Amino acid sequence: MPVNHITRNRDFLLSGNHDIYISCCHGSSIAAVGCHGSSIAAVGCHGSSIAAVGCHGNSATAVASASKDEICLSTISPKDKPWNVHRANSDRVKSLYESTELERYGNRIRDCAQMLQFAAVESDEGSLGLKLRTAHFCRVRTCPVCQWRRSMKWRARFFKAIPKILEAYPNARFLLLTLTQRNCELTDLKATLSTMNQAWKRLSERQQFPAIGWIKSVEVTRSLDGTAHPHFHALLMVKPSYFKKNYLSQATWTELWAKSLRIDYTPIVDVRVVKPRPGHEGELGAGLSAALLETLKYGVKESDLVSDRDWLVELTKQLHKTRAVAVGGVLRDLIREDDPEDLIHDEDNPDLGETEEADKFHFGWRERLEEYVYVDRETC
Ligand SMILES: [Zn+2]
């Protein structure tokens, strides 16, 4: 079965022997996990040989060598590879909090997403994929896993609202606006963000401000000298008349932001029009999707989170109880502004309700391997 994802063998299904086959990507052989039936389940991951593990049935269980007996989530479900990257960075952040006054955050992050429970879900094409069903998240603001899940959730919220937005405002256009100011000492970050938020309020209340709706996120990056570079990414929804009579040049945007910030230097401001992809004129979806990725990417780059212990600790204190994402104008009625509670489900991953025990797959985090590894709940 030369596929690189889980596929349900239809012949097996028809025969009532419901097995899920998983192809091996590191090796050349096929690995399979038995599920409903009594047949043998075999799994291989790093090696070229097959390792076999019995599952629900009472048939033979083959034993794999220690280095070849683990099935990695990233192998059988390549789309879930990001889990490894984010969870590995969470381990780094956890380690940085150790022996600091914020050790409690490290303890919470340590327990975050240690075990992922997936359900095998069949697509319309008949192939099987894994959907996250249950996991525990620590919700610490600086946890890379939680930051990633939160940004996915925000994007999902926006995408869910797009049909309603375009129904109410069929000719709406979008701009991507980045507003910066001079770097600040990290110890001044909270005060600086407060000043910037006041400036945003003044900007959005100006008569020239063209947006009828907006979504804005805060990003903080670390400069080489250790200062903080806070800036806003905003997606603005404007009427088509913006381009005819209310158009603001980049220079005017810069001037308005400087006035709103009440500063006497020229801040860096970037403004771009969100365009449909070439060949897809009339469809804003893809362009909007890319713009939204930019707007709701992350609050702090993971590479900055793991770079320096003192910086991380101070950043955590400075970001405490500050708002990461805000929604305004007409979008406020269409997109909820509160921090997402549910970090599991989104439009690509709806709540599956009850799942058959046999269709659940557990993967546990292995810090040393930096991999999520299949855990057979029947045998462990
Ligand atoms: Zn977390």
- pTM of this structure: 0.79
Residues 215, 331: contact at Cβ < 8 Å? yes
Compute the distance from residue 359 Cα to the ligand 1 centre, in Å. Answer: 26
Confidence check: pLDDT of 102 > 90: yes
Compute the distance from residue 29 Cα to the ligand 1 centre, in Å. Answer: 35
Compute the distance from residue 112 Cα to the ligand 1 centre, in Å. Answer: 5
Compute the distance from residue 55 Cα to the ligand 1 centre, in Å. Answer: 31
The pLDDT of 152-165, averaged and rounded, is 86
Compute the distance from residue 110 Cα to the ligand 1 centre, in Å. Answer: 8
What does DSSP assign to residue 346?
Answer: B
Compute the distance from residue 176 Cα to the ligand 1 centre, in Å. Answer: 29
Compute the distance from residue 263 Cα to the ligand 1 centre, in Å. Answer: 38
Compute the distance from residue 207 Cα to the ligand 1 centre, in Å. Answer: 41
Exposed/middle/buried for residue 74 (C-beta within 10 Å: 0-12, 13-18, 19+): buried
Compute the distance from residue 295 Cα to the ligand 1 centre, in Å. Answer: 21
Q: Does residue 342 or residue 74 have the better pLDDT?
A: 74
The CA distance from 177 to 131, in Å, is 34
Compute the distance from residue 144 Cα to the ligand 1 centre, in Å. Answer: 7
Confidence check: pLDDT of 121 > 60: yes
Residue with tokens 């319309």: 124
The CA distance from 196 to 179, in Å, is 9
Confidence check: pLDDT of 176 > 90: yes
Compute the distance from residue 379 Cα to the ligand 1 centre, in Å. Answer: 28
Confidence check: pLDDT of 174 > 50: yes
| Residue 280's pLDDT band (cuts 50, 70, 90) | low
The CA distance from 195 to 190, in Å, is 9
